Amino acid sequence: MSAGLTEAEAAAELERLAAEIAGHDRAYHEQDAPRISDADYDALVRRNRAIEAQFPHLVRDDSPSKRVGSAPAEGFAKSRHLAPMLSLDNAFADADFTEFAVRIRRFLSLSETEPLHFIAEPKIDGLSVNLLYERGRFVKGATRGDGIEGEDITANLRTLKDLPRQLRAPFPDLIEVRGEVFMDRADFVAFRAEQERALAQREARKTNGGKLGAAVTIPVNPRNAAAGSLRQLDASITAGRPLKLFAYAMGQASEIPVDTHEHWLDLLRRWGFSVNPLSTPVTDAAEFQRKMASERAALAYEIDGVVYKLNRLDWQQRLGFVGRAPRWAIAWKFPAEQTRTKLLRIEIQVGRTGALTPRAVMEPVFVGGVTVTHATLHNEDEIARKDIREGDTIILQRAGDVIPQVVEVVDKDRPGRGPPYVFPTICPACGSHAVREGEDVVRRCTGGLICPAQTVERLKHFASRGAMDIEGLGEENIEQLHAEGLVRSPADIFRLREHAARMRLWEGWGKGAKGETKKVANLLAAIEARRVVPLERFIFALGIRRIGAQNAKLLARHYQNIGTWRERMLEARIIGSEAREELGSIQGIGPSIATELVEFFAEAHNLQALDDLLRYVTPEDAAVLDAADSAFAGKALVFTGTLETLSRAEAEARAELLGAKVTKSVSKKTDFVVVGADAGSKAAKAAELGVRVLTEVEFRELAGIAAT
C-alpha cells in the first residue's frame, strides 16, 4: 500500500519501481523472456500508480505510467507508428468493470438510463502489430515496441496468410490497422516438439564436430513462440511458422469510414482481414466474462481475458486517453488458472548481486497451457508465511504467464509431514555467509568476489568502462575466459599474460580467417595500461554492493590512499571503534552503506581477493587539488548552521577538494568548525573543546573562494 509513505519514501519508491518495471519491460518485450508473472507485474504497475496518485508532483519523466512496452531491439530498422500504440487498463472483478462504466458516464455527462453498448473481444496473449496501408496496399508493418516506435518487420508480416496485401475497395488513402499475431495451442505443441528435435540434432552434431547451423531455442509458451517467429531476421523462417493474425483496432486514418466499433470489425472482414469470430456486442459484460471463462480451456488459442470497447466511435474520441490507456476500453482479466501438484524439493539459486532466490521443483503438471516443473517461491518470508515444506501437495497458479507461483499447501495436517523448511544462511554456491539486512526480504551471499555465481557478472563490472575500463575485455570475452578457467578473480586478469599462447589457439583470438588478428596482444596491452588507476575507480571496480561511482569517490576523497582505506575498513568491523565512527561520519555515507562495506571486509575471501589484486594494481592516491598549500589539507572540518553565500554541498565539496575531511560531529580531532547562521550545539561544543571556529567569510578566504 502507498498509505503512510513520507514524501521522501514515496520518491525513493517511485524511482525503484521505475527501474524495476523498465527491467521487466525489457525482459518481456526485447528478450521475450518475462521474469515475473503478469499478475506480479500488474501489481507493480498498480503500486506505482497508487503512489503517483497520492504524490502527483513526484511523477517521474521516466515513470512507467508514461511508457508503454519497451524500446526496439537491435537487428531491425526502427519504425515510428503514425498514431501511438497504447495499452489497456485492467479489470479483475465486477466492481472494476462497473467503475469503468461509471467513469465513462461521468466523463460524457450521460444519464443513468442512457445505454452503453460495448463490444467484447477475447484478449489473446500474442504480439500486437501495426499494419500501414496506403491506397489499400500493405506498405509497412511493425511490432509495438515502446508504443511510439517499434521494429520494422514488414517482410515477416507479408508471409502471414491472414494479412491482406491489398484491401478490397473502398478504403481510405491511408490507414493503420492493428491486430494480434499469435500461435494456436496445438500448433505451438507441434512446433515446440520440432524445435526440441532440432536441438537434439544440433547437440549431436556438436559432439561429432560437424557444422552447427543456426541456434535453436525452445519456446516456453505460444506467445513466446509467436514472438520468436515474428522477429526472425530471415523472413523465410517466419514463413514456415504457423502464425495467425486477428485484426481489431484502428491507428491513424486519413478518413474514418465507420461510426461504431462493430462496423469497424465488419469493415475489417470486408477488407480481407481475419477478425475473431467470438467478438460480439454485449449487454451484460459480467455474464459474458463468466461464459468466456468457462469456455476458455476449449479454445484453440490462449486468452487471458476479454477486452471491452465502447461501441460508439464519437464517444471514444471524446473520452480519449489517460496515461497509457484509453478511457473507452478495458481488459477484464481472468483469475489465474490453478492446479495441484507435489513439491519435490526447494532449491536455491544465487543471482548476480548474490541474492538467494528459492525455487520449487515440482512433479510436472499441465497448467495454463504449458507443462511446468518449477515455480517461484519469492523469498524466505513467503516460504515461512505459507509454511511450505518439501513433500507438500501444493496449489499452483499460472495466469497466462510464464513463472508459476505456489498459492498454498493443501495437506499441512498429513501424518509424517517433514520439518519446516530452513532457509540456508550459507551460500550454496560458495559457502560464504548469506545475510539479511534491515528490512530487506532478500538474503544475500557475502562472498562477493569469490562466489562463482556472482563472479562472472562482477568480473564484467570490474572491467567495464566506468570501473577499470579495460578495453577489449567486454562481456563475451569475460564469459569465455571464465568458462576456459583462466579468469576466476580480478587478479587473474593480470595474470593472463602467462596464458597468451593458449589464448592464441582459440577461434578468433589468434590467426583469424582474414589473417593475423592482434586480439590477444591488444588485450594484454590494455590490461597492462590499467596497472595504475585512480583510487576511486579501483574502489568502484570491486563491485561492493551500494558502492557506486559516487560513493567510491566519497571514500577515495576521504581515505585518499588504498592502504589507509583497507586498514580503516578492517578496523571498522568492530562496532563502536573509532574507524567505524569515522566511516559513519563521512557525508553521504549512510549506515546501510557502512554496513555493506564492513560486511565485505569481514569475509576473509574478499580480503584475499583484494590483496591478490593489489599485487598487480596500484591505485593512485586520491587527487587533492592545491592541497599542499591549503590550510585544510588533511584537516577535519565540520559545518554547522546555515551558510548564506554558499550551499552546504558546494562548501563541502570545496573543502574536500582542498584536502579536508568533512565530518558530521565535533570531537577533539576536529580542526575547524565552520559556523553559519543559527548554529546550535556543535558551535558550543567547538568552543568547549577549543576547536578553531571559522565564520563563513573566513572559510571563503581560506578556501580561496572569491568574495561575492
User: Annotated catalytic sites, by residue?
Assistant: 123
Looking at the Cβ atoms of 124 and 651, the one nearer to ligand IVH is: 124
Region near ligand IVH per CB under 6 A, out of 101-109, 120-128, 472-480, 571-579:
120-128
Looking at the Cβ atoms of 275 and 456, the one nearer to ligand IVH is: 275
DSSP 312: B
Taking CB under 6 A as the criterion, the residue among 41, 55, 118, 248 binding ligand IVH is 248
- Residue 688: in which H helix or E strand, if any? helix 681-689
The least distance separating ligand IVH from the CB of residue 144, rounded to whole angstroms, comes to 6
The interface with ligand IVH within residues 151-190 (CB under 6 A) comprises 180
Taking CB under 6 A as the criterion, the residue among 25, 30, 52, 121 binding ligand IVH is 121
The least distance separating ligand IVH from the CB of residue 133, rounded to whole angstroms, comes to 18
Taking CB under 6 A as the criterion, the residue among 128, 232, 405, 640 binding ligand IVH is 128
The answer to whether the beta carbons of residues 381 and 411 sit under 8 Å apart is no
398 binding ligand IVH? (CB under 6 A): no
Region near ligand IVH per CB under 6 A, out of 101-109, 123-131, 262-270, 460-468:
123-131
38 binding ligand IVH? (CB under 6 A): no
Q: Which of 363, 366, 358, 365 is nearest to 386 (CA)?
A: 358
Looking at the Cβ atoms of 247 and 356, the one nearer to ligand IVH is: 247
Looking at the Cβ atoms of 52 and 180, the one nearer to ligand IVH is: 180
C-alpha triplet 265, 266, 270: angle, nearest 5°: 115
400 binding ligand IVH? (CB under 6 A): no
Taking CB under 6 A as the criterion, the residue among 91, 249, 336, 556 binding ligand IVH is 249
The least distance separating ligand IVH from the CB of residue 336, rounded to whole angstroms, comes to 17
Region near ligand IVH per CB under 6 A, out of 3-11, 116-124, 473-481, 503-511:
116-124
What does the H/E/C string look like for 572-612? Answer: CCCCCCHHHHHHHHCCCCCHHHHHHHHHHHHCHHHHHHHHH
273 binding ligand IVH? (CB under 6 A): no
The interface with ligand IVH within residues 295-314 (CB under 6 A) comprises 307
The least distance separating ligand IVH from the CB of residue 72, rounded to whole angstroms, comes to 15
The least distance separating ligand IVH from the CB of residue 125, rounded to whole angstroms, comes to 7
Angle, helix 562-571 to helix 591-602, in steps of 10 degrees: 90
Q: What is the C-alpha to C-alpha distance for residues 593 and 573, in angstroms, rounded to an integer?
A: 13
Looking at the Cβ atoms of 331 and 348, the one nearer to ligand IVH is: 331
Q: What is the C-alpha to C-alpha distance for residues 481 and 488, in angstroms, rounded to an integer?
A: 8
Looking at the Cβ atoms of 248 and 540, the one nearer to ligand IVH is: 248
Strand runs labelled E in 277-399: 280-282, 303-310, 321-322, 325-326, 329-333, 337-350, 356-367, 370-376, 393-398
Looking at the Cβ atoms of 81 and 123, the one nearer to ligand IVH is: 123
Question: What phi and psi, each to the nearest 5 degrees, are found at residue 541?
Answer: -65, -25
Q: What is the C-alpha to C-alpha distance for residues 557 and 547, in angstroms, rounded to an integer?
A: 14
Taking CB under 6 A as the criterion, the residue among 331, 463, 539, 662 binding ligand IVH is 331
316 binding ligand IVH? (CB under 6 A): no
The least distance separating ligand IVH from the CB of residue 434, rounded to whole angstroms, comes to 39
The answer to whether the beta carbons of residues 15 and 60 sit under 8 Å apart is yes
Strands 672-675 and 692-695: parallel
The least distance separating ligand IVH from the CB of residue 3, rounded to whole angstroms, comes to 28
The answer to whether the beta carbons of residues 538 and 561 sit under 8 Å apart is no
Site string for ligand IVH, 470-509 (x = CB under 6 A): ----------------------------------------
Looking at the Cβ atoms of 2 and 87, the one nearer to ligand IVH is: 87
DSSP 691: P
Based on DSSP, count helices (H) and strands (E) in the chain, helices before strands: 25, 28
DSSP for 95-147, written as a single string: HHHHHHHHHHHHHHT--TTS---EEEEEEE-SEEEEEEEETTEEEEEEE-TTS
Q: What is the C-alpha to C-alpha distance for residues 490 and 693, in angstroms, rounded to an integer?
A: 46
The interface with ligand IVH within residues 60-99 (CB under 6 A) comprises 86-88
**Cα radius of gyration rounded to whole Å, the chain:** 31
Question: What phi and psi, each to the nearest 5 degrees, are found at residue 659?
Answer: 95, 5
Distances in Å between the Cα of 628 and the Cα atoms of 66, 245, 304, 524, 624 are: 51, 73, 69, 37, 8
Taking CB under 6 A as the criterion, the residue among 326, 368, 543, 619 binding ligand IVH is 326
The least distance separating ligand IVH from the CB of residue 106, rounded to whole angstroms, comes to 20
Site string for ligand IVH, 620-659 (x = CB under 6 A): ----------------------------------------
All three cell numbers of 418: 517433514
Handedness of CA 123, 125, 129, 133 (dihedral sign): negative
Q: In the complex, which residue's CB is closest to ligand IVH?
A: 128
The least distance separating ligand IVH from the CB of residue 327, rounded to whole angstroms, comes to 10
The least distance separating ligand IVH from the CB of residue 88, rounded to whole angstroms, comes to 4
Looking at the Cβ atoms of 326 and 543, the one nearer to ligand IVH is: 326
DSSP 226: H
The least distance separating ligand IVH from the CB of residue 124, rounded to whole angstroms, comes to 5
Looking at the Cβ atoms of 276 and 630, the one nearer to ligand IVH is: 276
Looking at the Cβ atoms of 326 and 358, the one nearer to ligand IVH is: 326
The answer to whether the beta carbons of residues 632 and 704 sit under 8 Å apart is no
The interface with ligand IVH within residues 402-441 (CB under 6 A) comprises none
Q: What is the C-alpha to C-alpha distance for residues 461 and 464, in angstroms, rounded to an integer?
A: 5
Strands 78-80 and 149-151: antiparallel
Taking CB under 6 A as the criterion, the residue among 285, 313, 329, 388 binding ligand IVH is 329
DSSP 32: S
Alpha helices in 396-534 (DSSP H): 452-463, 475-483, 490-493, 500-504, 519-528
Q: Which of 67, 48, 68 is nearest to 58 (CA)?
A: 48
130 binding ligand IVH? (CB under 6 A): no
The least distance separating ligand IVH from the CB of residue 271, rounded to whole angstroms, comes to 17
Looking at the Cβ atoms of 52 and 89, the one nearer to ligand IVH is: 89
Q: Which residues bind ligand IVH (CB under 6 A)?
A: 86-88, 121, 123-124, 128, 144, 180, 248-249, 307, 326, 329, 331
